[in-house]
Each structure stands twice: as structure tokens, then as C-alpha cells.
Structure 1
Amino acid sequence: MVYAVVRAGGRQEKVEVGTIVTMDRIKADKDGNVELAAVLLVDGDNITSDSKSLADVKVTAQVLNDLRGPKIIIQKFKNKTGYKKRQGHRQDLTRVQVTKIA
């Protein structure tokens, strides 16, 4: 069983071939492929975590679609001063499917 832990938009995700991951918006190349940086690689009994060996590891993913996350409401309020502020935010996301770990 081969899997890797990759850096995906400020977080780390455990991925195998075929795993679908939603991460922060990322630019793809003209074919729609993205290369993700590996932090850890597990290949059966072998565990690779040093940076020199991980420089050779390529985790390739295919971009499925771009989407936006749920709306988050930000409210600020200060008592007795008449100050209140309300704003919303929707994060830009990308959904990718891992195609190859080499």
C-alpha cells in the first residue's frame, strides 16, 4: 500500500492514488495537472521523511473543478459605543484527484 502526506494549501492531506482532495485555489498547467509537494511517503514497510529523498518524489493530481466554499459571516460588536460591523467571506477552492505517486 503506497500513500503520501502532501502539502495542500496550508494544510497536510494523506493521499493515495484516486483520492479526491479539496484545497485552496491552485493554478494548473495547460493539461489540468498539478504537482503537490510530498512531506512523507509510505511504501509498504519503507517510510521516507527526509527532504533529500522526498525531492525525488512526484505526486501528480488532475484538477476536477474550481469551486467556492461556504459563506462565513464575520461580525464585530463593541458594547455601548454603537459600533457593529458585519461582513461575509467565501474561500476559493480547487478539487483535485491524485493520479500518480512516483
Structure 2
Amino acid sequence: MYAVIRTGGKQYVVEPGQVLKVEKINLPEGSEVELETLMIRNDDGSVKVGDEVKNAKVKATVVRHGKGKKIIVFKYKSKKHYQRKYGHRQHFTELKIEEIVG
């Protein structure tokens, strides 16, 4: 069984027991969260989409918060003596998918 969820403006395919990094969610570590479900595929191969998944839930637990790898942003204009370099580290939340109820 797997499901497609939406969080942080992105969509993810998840299964029970999976650990997943998503955009930062402001919840303390160890708390439970229910994620918006877009689609569910059962073990027998049936697929539920749209109004069929209104009551479906994907329950996850917040494992930890952190920062991703540093990305270097470098801007340069030739012949104008313009250079700008800075870094960025995106915040993330690590979730463990506990169960899919559909």
C-alpha cells in the first residue's frame, strides 16, 4: 500500500515505515501530524483518487529538524567588476510515515 501526499508545495509517494525529508513544519519533535492525501493504492491494486480519499489519512511522526547541504549562489557580470557570492541552507523536517488509513 502506498499513497501520494502533498506538503510544503510538493508531492511525495510514501509507504508505511518510510523516513522522508520535507519542507520545515513548525511542530516539536515526536509529535504526530496528518498529511493531505491525494491518492491511495491498496495492496489489491485498486486506486482511490479525488472524493474517494476525503476520509483517508496519512499519519506521520516528526523525527527531527535540520538544515540541508549548503548551496553556493554566485552572481557575475562580465567587464563590470561585479561579483556576489553567498550560500543557502534550506531547513527541513524529517518525518516517519506511521500508517495509511484509507
Q: TM-score, normalised by structure 2?
A: 0.89
Q: How many residues align?
A: 100
Q: How does 1:55-70 map to 2 (within 5 A)?
A: 55-70=54-69
- Superposed displacement of residue 57, structure 1: 0.7
2:79 alignment counterpart: 80
Q: How does 1:40-51 map to 2 (within 5 A)?
A: 40-43=39-42, 44-50=44-50
Mapped partners of 1:56, 1:24: distance in 2: 24
In the TM superposition, structure 1's runs of 4+ consecutive aligned residues that sit over 4 Å from their partners are none
Amino acid in structure 1 at the alignment position of 2:15: E
Deviations 1:34-63 (A, max 9, x none): 11111110012210111x222211101000
Query: Matched residue of 1:26: which SS?
Result: coil
- Superposed displacement of residue 17, structure 1: 0.9
- Superposed displacement of residue 8, structure 1: 3.0
Q: 1:54 and 1:12, CA in 2 relative to 1: closer, same or farther beyond 3 A? A: same
Unaligned residue ranges in structure 2 (runs of 5+): none
Query: Matched residue of 2:2: which SS?
Result: strand
Query: Matched residue of 1:53: which SS?
Result: helix
Q: Is the 8 A contact 2:65 2:91 kept in 1?
A: yes
Query: Matched residue of 2:4: which SS?
Result: strand
Unaligned residue ranges in structure 1 (runs of 5+): none
What is the RMSD of the two structures over their aligned residues, measured on CA atoms? 1.6
2:23 alignment counterpart: 24
- Superposed displacement of residue 90, structure 1: 0.2
Mapped partners of 2:7, 2:23: distance in 1: 7
